[in-house]
Structure 1
Amino acid sequence: MSIASVNTGRWGIACMIVGMFLISLNDMLIKSMSGAYPLHQLVFLRSVIGIFFAVGILHVEGGWGLLNTGRWRLHILRGVLIVFANSAIYAAIVAMPLATANALYFVAPLFVTLLSVPMLGEHVGVRRFAAIGVGFGGVLLMMLPQLSGGSGSHGWVAVLPVLAAAGYAMMSVLTRKLGATSRASALAIHIQLAFIIISAIMYVAVGDGRFVDDTTNDSLRFLLRPWVWPAREDYAAIIGLGVLSGVVGYLMSQAYRLSRASVVAPFEYILLIFALFWGWTVFGEWPEPVVFAGAAIVIGSGMYVFFREGQERRGAVS
């Protein structure tokens, strides 16, 4: 392995860690405004602002010509997947503690490793497959109390972070696949366009709020709440969401361009630390003990997968 290759991988990891902090900040802001605005309005406003930052980075990297691609179907699929994943996780965090939703979402790196086999042709050995199975066991440990219907459970909402993780993992693997021929700025712009288009469709479909009174579920109400003109005191937060969107889109695309999916994905676990901090300091939340136990299993499994990946890569070049 060349020194340039090692340095490139390290930059990918650095992009992931910074991206995780900014994502946690984004989640905190969205949850704090979820009682006043519908999800897709926040996403629309965030992406309209964020796309200007992505365009600026595009010009630095080479200009409009970078948007030209012959793989539009994959870009469209990637955009749909990230919109689905974001909608599912945001619908979950308004009804669950931030750390609980993120702990369930931590199955994403295991999904990434699993999907890297058929989609990228990467090799995953028996031990890593076993570790992935153990990781999914940790997810079940966290989910079962949530699905029990008892006090403090969240019912079907607990499934949303796992669905979000599956969608995000497929998007991440596609990013790695498309990153061979597309720059990170172009990939970020495609994501912003997907958010804007699908959010506009949601406005036409349910933006008048005519369905919001048909449910008392917090997650569904967040999706169905009517669009309103933002309050002046929320302008700074909404602009902040836009800035975060532009920067995060670039960092995440760059992370998966610079490093193999199965290497960079485990560093997403640092998100739990940030989620615990925001949940405790801003919303007064603290997860149940079973969440920490399940998260430890999932993170341990993911780190083992990462460790085995590193061993195999070193063996391949020794």
Structure 2
Amino acid sequence: MSDDHAAGQNRPMAGILTRLGAMLSLGIMFAFVKLAGQHGVHVTESLFYRQLTAMPLICFLIWRSQRGWPSIVSNKHRLHILRSILGIFAMGLNFWAMTLLPLADATTISFTVPIFATLFAALILREQVGIRRWSAILIGFIGVLIVIQPGGSLIPAFGAAVALGGALVTASVTLVIRILGRTETSVVTIFWFSVYTLPALTVCAFIYGGGHDAQTWGYLLGIGIFGALGQLGVTQSLRYAPVSTIVPMDYSALIWATIFGIAIFGQYPGLSIWFGAPIIIGSGLFIAWREHVRASKQTIASASESV
């Protein structure tokens, strides 16, 4: 990380507030996704407008960046394509889960992403995972079992499976992004994600899309606008504060999912959510903290070696 970027990360309150705003925007987007689904909008059509609306914002960020358009040049296109394939499947499953489940239930299950990501990092990237993080992974899965209650849950089994599938694929995306992050900025990664996914989504929108009333078009516009704002907020928050400071703010998404679920859809979280969500969130926070400790030790070790 450059000294300028590190200096820019000395605004923790700005980072926290920006991340909270991003979670609110994404919560509104998912509410629009669910409303659009109830009005017959196909998931791929929602994805199309989500990506289409984000593209001008991404281009603006690249234009305003220090290097400008030359920064999009990359020799990692195979990884960008892999990230795009996995990313669009992950986004599609997450959107679909929001239409199948109450917002709070789908959001809670999505919190398993850091648990799966840590598991995949150990199994695929061969990262060293100590007993503490293995314990957090195990405890997190216990929380999942409490929420889903296999065989006796009020949560539809198919919807829960879709949500877990979305979390699994999203976790795999984080591994690819971690590799890309060694040479690519987040904005450039998002740019190529849009470039590689929009053509296929355009075809899908042409096949599955149709005429809508003004209200439904408003939902699709909301998906695009608030999805883009959420994406901007997530990216911008990383410029204000370190990951370890802002990641805990992501769990505020459950607050908005619960509020919107009750106010818009009349869906109240079941008891299993109140018991399981704190376990899943606690596991995720502990993993994030251990990642921070591990990164700090590596930084100190690298500094010592350079002396």
TM bucket (normalised to shorter chain) is 0.7 to 0.9
Alpha-carbon distance change, 167 to 13 in structure 1, aligned in 2, over 3 angstroms: farther
Pair 6,117 (structure 1): closer, same or farther in 2 beyond 3 Å: farther
Partner of 1:241: 223
**Deviations for 1:206-236, whole angstroms, at most 9, x for unmatched residues?**
x3xxxxxxxxxxxxxxxxxx42123233444
Q: Please, which runs of 5 or more residues in structure 2 have no aligned partner?
A: 302-307
CA–CA separation in structure 2 for the residues paired with 1:256 and 1:168: 19
Change (3 A) 1:237 1:107: same
Query: Equivalent residues in 2 for 1:44-63 (5 A)?
Result: 44-61=48-65, 62-63=67-68
> How far does the alpha carbon of each residue in 1:259-298 deviate from its partner, in whole angstroms, 9 at most, with x for none?
8877765442221111111111111111110122111111
In structure 1, the residue corresponding to 2:100 is in which secondary structure?
Answer: coil
Which of 162, 171, 188 matches 2:190? 188
Which residues in structure 2 correspond to 1:154-173 (within 5 Å)?
154-173=156-175
- The answer to whether the 8 Å contact 1:50/1:242 transfers is yes
Displacement of 1:127 after TM fit? 0.9
- The two structures have a TM-score, normalised by structure 2, of 0.82
Change (3 A) 1:230 1:261: same
Q: Which of 21, 25, 45 in structure 2 is aligned with 1:22?
A: 25
Conserved 8 A contact 1:179-1:256? no
Counterpart residue type for residue 189 of structure 2: L
How far 1:313 moved relative to its partner?
4.8
Unaligned stretches of 5+ residues in structure 1 = 208-225
Name the residue aligned to 1:104. 109
Matched, 1:270 2:252: yes
In structure 2, what is the Cα distance between the partners aligned to 1:14 and 1:177? Answer: 28
Cα distance, 1:182 vs structure 2: 2.2
| RMSD of equivalent CA atoms | 3.2
> Displacement, 1:238?
2.6
| Deviation (angstroms), 1:198 | 3.1
Using the TM superposition, give the Cα deviation of residue 112 of structure 1 relative to its aligned residue in structure 2, in angstroms: 2.6
For 2:37 and 2:31, the matched residues in 1 are separated by 10
- Equivalent in the alignment of 2:285: 303
- Could you tell me whether the CA contact under 8 Å between 1:135 and 1:302 is conserved in 2? yes
- Where does 1:111-122 land on structure 2 (aligned, <5 Å)? 111-117=116-122
- Residue by residue, what CA displacement relative to the aligned partner does 1:137-189 show, whole Å, maximum 9, x if unpaired? 111222225x54x7x44122211111111211222232233233223322222
| Residue 282 of structure 1: aligned partner | 264
1:74-223 to structure 2, matched below 5 A, reads 74-117=79-122, 123-145=128-150, 147-148=151-152, 152-203=154-205, 207=207
Once the 2 structures are TM-superposed, how far is the Cα of residue 24 of structure 1 from its aligned partner?
0.8
Any conservation in 2 of the 1:142–1:294 contact (CA below 8 Å)? Answer: yes
What amino acid maps onto 2:28 in structure 1?
L
Contact 1:54 1:247 in 2 (8 A): no
Amino acid at match of 2:174: S
2:210 aligns to what?
A: 228
- In structure 2, the CA distance between the partners of 1:166 and 1:263, relative to structure 1 (3 Å rule), is farther
Question: Given that residues 33 and 98 in structure 2 are in contact (C-alpha distance below 8 angstroms), is that contact kept between their aligned partners in structure 1?
Answer: no
Deviates more, 1:258-267 or 1:226-235: 258-267
2:141·2:280 contact (CA, 8 Å) conserved in 1? yes
> More deviation in 188-197 or 81-90?
188-197
Q: Whole-Å Cα distance in 1 between the matches of residues 50 and 205 of structure 2?
A: 15
CA pair 16-135 structure 1, distance change in 2 beyond 3 A: same
In the other structure, the counterpart of 2:304 is none
What is the aligned-residue identity percentage?
A: 24
TM-score by length of 1: 0.80
Residue 35 of structure 1 corresponds to: 38
Residues 93 and 163, structure 2, Cα contact 8 Å, conserved in 1: yes
Q: Is contact 1:108–1:165 with CA below 8 Å preserved after alignment? A: yes
Shift of the alpha carbon at 1:60?
Answer: 0.8
What does residue 215 of structure 1 align with?
A: none
- The worse-fitting range, judged by mean Cα deviation, of 191-200 and 93-102 is 191-200
Preserved contact between residue 50 and residue 244 of structure 1 (Cα < 8 Å)? no
Q: One-letter code of the match for 1:269?
A: Y
Whether the 8 Å CA contact 1:131–1:305 is kept in 2: the answer is: yes
**Aligned residues of 2:52 and 2:198 also touching (Cα < 8 A):** yes
Deviates more, 1:297-306 or 1:116-125: 116-125
